[in-house]
Structure 1
Amino acid sequence: MTIDVLVVGGGPVGLAAAIEARLAGLSVTVLEPRATPVDKACGEGLMPGAVAALARLGVDPTGHRLTGIRYLSGTRVADHLFATSHGRGVRRTTLQAALARRADELGAQIVTGKAGDVEQDADSISCAGIRARWLLACDGLHSPVRRGLGLEVASRAHAGRRYGIRRHFRVAPWADLVEVHWGRDVEAYVTPVDDDVVGVALLGPPHRDYEDTLDAFPDLRRHLAGAPTIGPVRGAGPLRQRTSARTAGRVRLVGDASGYVDALTGEGVRVGLAQAHAAIATLGPDVATANAQYERAWTRATRSYRVLTSGLLAAAGSPLRGGIVPLAAATPRLYGSIVERLAR
């Protein structure tokens, strides 16, 4: 029997794609090698747009209300409170479990296994012994499906590659905002995810010791003084991933697998959910037409993220880095408009 959609990858974006498929009346199977929930390095801050997108899917994960974004560098502080609604800090495991419950409730089939080779003809694809009309590769930053299809663009330079490492601390949040502490070449993201838990993610060059790097942020260290750690340090990277296309016949790349700039603006989940919606909404009988529609929808869904994140990343890697927080503090309307553009 041929199903409508095979989703490779049971992370948040893959599960969201499965939910979208079921809401559209399509049969769907999710292929994931690991047991749910899977913990991975993630900033865990959901922008207001991501919270709204999850609500549309019937998903309402527990977490901590986020009222805005705060940039800090030395004595300089720039705050922006979200204009219309709140974000939410949510443990990745909590988010994935909530999405898995909703997918199961709607009748999505979740099976354990690895994708392996993908074969396709004019009418269907075949992968891991499953035949489907379409395959959505939601298998993450280092997508094996993307690599196997030849859609990956190799990075030319190793210099400038960035990685993320994250750990949780048992401490009451001292603010209802995502804090971004700007260091010399590392950013520390603090996200409240519960009434007594914060996650601290460090973004920067590779081969950094977590605790030693955290020492470069004395104000943050004081907030965390004596706080027990929860779980191990988890890492991800390199973060920058480029693709030559998001489609190959009946296969579509969705989420981080489709290309990634950086976690600097903290909106990966929002963009991934928008891609999952577009990937299902643009399915159609003519493959070439449907894929052209998805490529256009992908471009629209990711444009703000790609442009603004690339611009901020370029500034962060230049002599302008030290002026980012002072500029944000001195131009609150400009800073706020950028945050709102990314948050929606």
Structure 2
Amino acid sequence: MRLTGSDDADVIVVGAGPAGSAAAHYCAAAGLDVLLMEKSSFPRDKICGDGLTPRAVSELVRMGVPTRAEDGWIRNIGLRAVAGGRSYEFPWPELKSYPAYGLARSRMNFDQTLAEHARATGAKLMERTNVTGPVIDERTGRVVGVTARPVDDAGRRAGEERTYRAPVVIAADGVSARMATAIGIEKSNNRPMGVAVRTYFTSPRHDDPWMESQLELWDGVPGKSNLLPGYGWIFALGDGTVNVGLGSVSSTAAATKIDYKNLFARWMENTPAEWGFTPENQIGPVRGAALPMGFNRKPLYTKGLMLIGDAGGMVSPFNGEGIAYAMQAGRAAADAVAQARVRGTDAARERALATYPEIMRRDLGGYYTLGRYFVKLIEHPQIMHLCTKYGLPRPLIMKFVVKLLSDCYEPHGGDVVDRVIAGLTRVVRSA
């Protein structure tokens, strides 16, 4: 879709996280010339739980990314929920749409793997390239490229700024969403916002086959102390370490007044000794990040600029999962760009590009709306306690909850639980 002789590529992708690398891969696979710009150099770290649900695994399968154990991937067989002094294990469901297992791998390696996969497909990966802003056509108001400059490993300027031009720019630049804000697309304050902190520990249980979710966080002995807001996770990485973190969510973008690092320390004091979460086993500091949820920044496409991943607020309000939806958005955005490339007029190309937000709203809008209602309930620790106390021991209820929270249900057909969830997502108003 190179429209002018001055273009440097058919599409520019800003950011080489899961969203950007997926978009670059699919664009390159469709025969487009792709520039994939990343301000850091690989390997580089990102704040994340490092756990991948079956939905995320299915996206890796679509991309053709190998997930062999010898390459550092570890499978998990389901979710272990811990609350009220008891634990409950729920295997991932057997579905037509997704495999019955999840994966885990540190973002340090995961992101590099996806970026290199995109490069192998044909995308030009430009590391240590800091995109400073969009280039806007004065006549049409369209985004027609970006300005960027090289930086060193510390992020310091290492060369002159230059302009790169393309008829479409895909912004995968994370929660800061600098490309979006530069053209006036602001976040919606009435959408949920999460905060997560995590660190790593060496642990004798580094190969545990379950993803563990701590649904109640107490500041002392469970049941005899204060119930803290939020939930915790323990994801085994199979390499001698585990990713341990906690998160909380607010139904609006208002900042929460929680000392997360202090909360994390109090939680660690009361975790089971067999995990080995002691100061001498901790690897690195506790680090945190914001989790933009429920399409909190829209429109997802306008005037040559597409928003994918965290830049478009695509983290699930149900569970803080963002990778599956980021990769899905990259796939959908790339398909729209590829379709636009073969249209014969500007109007037809614009119609093709405009299908991207429609597809994302159709596929995820209802689910995210349900998630917003869910957040309004669980942001209160007492309500979460009642739900875990009376819901966890009931298999049918928990089957429903696990499928709903993990987004692992059949959207068409399936069992009665699948049909109820799918029906709910259609009934609520997608926004």
Tell me: CA distance 1:144–1:248, structure 2 relative to 1, closer, same or farther (3 Å). same
1:224 paired residue among 248, 252, 276: 276
Secondary structure at the residue paired with 2:392? helix
2:356 paired residue among 285, 290, 294: 294
Please give the per-residue CA displacement for 1:14-38, whole angstroms capped at 9, x wherever unaligned. Answer: 1111111111111100111111122
**Whole-angstrom CA distance in 1 between matches of 2:397 and 2:349:** 42
Report which of the two structures shows the higher radius of gyration computed on alpha carbons: 2
1:78 paired residue among 75, 79, 88: 88
2:52 paired residue among 31, 43, 46: 46
**Is 1:177–2:210 an aligned residue pair?**
yes
Tell me what 1:66 maps to.
76
Tell me what 1:20 maps to.
26
Tell me what 2:424 maps to.
none
Report how far residue 261 of structure 1 moved: 5.1
Secondary structure at the residue paired with 1:83? coil
Report how far residue 287 of structure 1 moved: 4.1
Q: Percent identity?
A: 24
Checking the alignment, whether the CA contact within 8 Å between 1:70 and 1:78 is kept in structure 2 is yes
Tell me what 1:114 maps to.
130
**Whole-angstrom CA distance in 2 between matches of 1:57 and 1:262:** 22
TM norm structure 1:
0.90
Q: Which moved more, 1:173-182 or 1:30-39?
A: 173-182
Tell me: CA distance 1:23–1:172, structure 2 relative to 1, closer, same or farther (3 Å). farther
Please give the per-residue CA displacement for 1:64-109, whole angstroms capped at 9, x wherever unaligned. Answer: 2111112222324333111232100111111111112212212211
**Whole-angstrom CA distance in 1 between matches of 2:265 and 2:76:** 23
Tell me what 1:102 maps to.
117
**Is 1:339–2:355 an aligned residue pair?**
no
Tell me what 1:303 maps to.
365
Q: Which has the higher contact order (CA 8 A, sep 6+)?
A: 1
Report how far residue 263 of structure 1 moved: 6.3
One-letter amino acid of the structure 2 residue matched with residue 235 of structure 1: G
**Whole-angstrom CA distance in 2 between matches of 1:327 and 1:60:** 41
**Is 1:164–2:196 an aligned residue pair?**
yes
Report how far residue 307 of structure 1 moved: 3.3
Report how far residue 247 of structure 1 moved: 1.0
**Whole-angstrom CA distance in 2 between matches of 1:220 and 1:141:** 31
**Whole-angstrom CA distance in 2 between matches of 1:316 and 1:48:** 24
1:249 paired residue among 303, 316, 324: 303
TM norm structure 2:
0.73
Report how far residue 259 of structure 1 moved: 1.6
**Whole-angstrom CA distance in 1 between matches of 2:291 and 2:63:** 31
Tell me what 1:193 maps to.
237
Q: Which moved more, 1:140-149 or 1:284-293?
A: 284-293
One-letter amino acid of the structure 2 residue matched with residue 142 of structure 1: S
Q: Which moved more, 1:271-280 or 1:167-176?
A: 167-176
Tell me: CA distance 1:118–1:19, structure 2 relative to 1, closer, same or farther (3 Å). same
Report how far residue 239 of structure 1 moved: 3.9
Q: Give the number of aligned pairs.
A: 342
Tell me what 1:235 maps to.
288
Checking the alignment, whether the CA contact within 8 Å between 1:9 and 1:139 is kept in structure 2 is yes
**Whole-angstrom CA distance in 2 between matches of 1:252 and 1:288:** 12
Please give the per-residue CA displacement for 1:281-324, whole angstroms capped at 9, x wherever unaligned. Answer: 12213243124311111113323651343233222113422123
**Whole-angstrom CA distance in 2 between matches of 1:180 and 1:219:** 15
Tell me what 1:88 maps to.
103
Secondary structure at the residue paired with 1:167? strand
Secondary structure at the residue paired with 1:300? helix
1:35 paired residue among 38, 41, 56: 41
Report how far residue 333 of structure 1 moved: 2.5
Checking the alignment, whether the CA contact within 8 Å between 1:77 and 1:325 is kept in structure 2 is no
**Is 1:126–2:145 an aligned residue pair?**
yes
Checking the alignment, whether the CA contact within 8 Å between 1:275 and 1:301 is kept in structure 2 is no
Secondary structure at the residue paired with 2:145? strand
Checking the alignment, whether the CA contact within 8 Å between 2:56 and 2:324 is kept in structure 1 is yes
Report how far residue 264 of structure 1 moved: 4.9
2:389 paired residue among 317, 323, 326: 326
**Whole-angstrom CA distance in 2 between matches of 1:225 and 1:16:** 35
Checking the alignment, whether the CA contact within 8 Å between 1:328 and 1:334 is kept in structure 2 is yes
**Whole-angstrom CA distance in 2 between matches of 1:309 and 1:167:** 26
Report how far residue 275 of structure 1 moved: 0.7
**Whole-angstrom CA distance in 1 between matches of 2:132 and 2:335:** 26
Checking the alignment, whether the CA contact within 8 Å between 2:291 and 2:320 is kept in structure 1 is no
Tell me: CA distance 1:267–1:109, structure 2 relative to 1, closer, same or farther (3 Å). same
Checking the alignment, whether the CA contact within 8 Å between 2:133 and 2:178 is kept in structure 1 is no
Secondary structure at the residue paired with 2:44? coil
Alpha-carbon RMSD: 2.5
Which ranges in structure 1 are unaligned for 5 or more consecutive residues? none
One-letter amino acid of the structure 2 residue matched with residue 178 of structure 1: M
- Runs of 4+ deviating beyond 6 Å: none
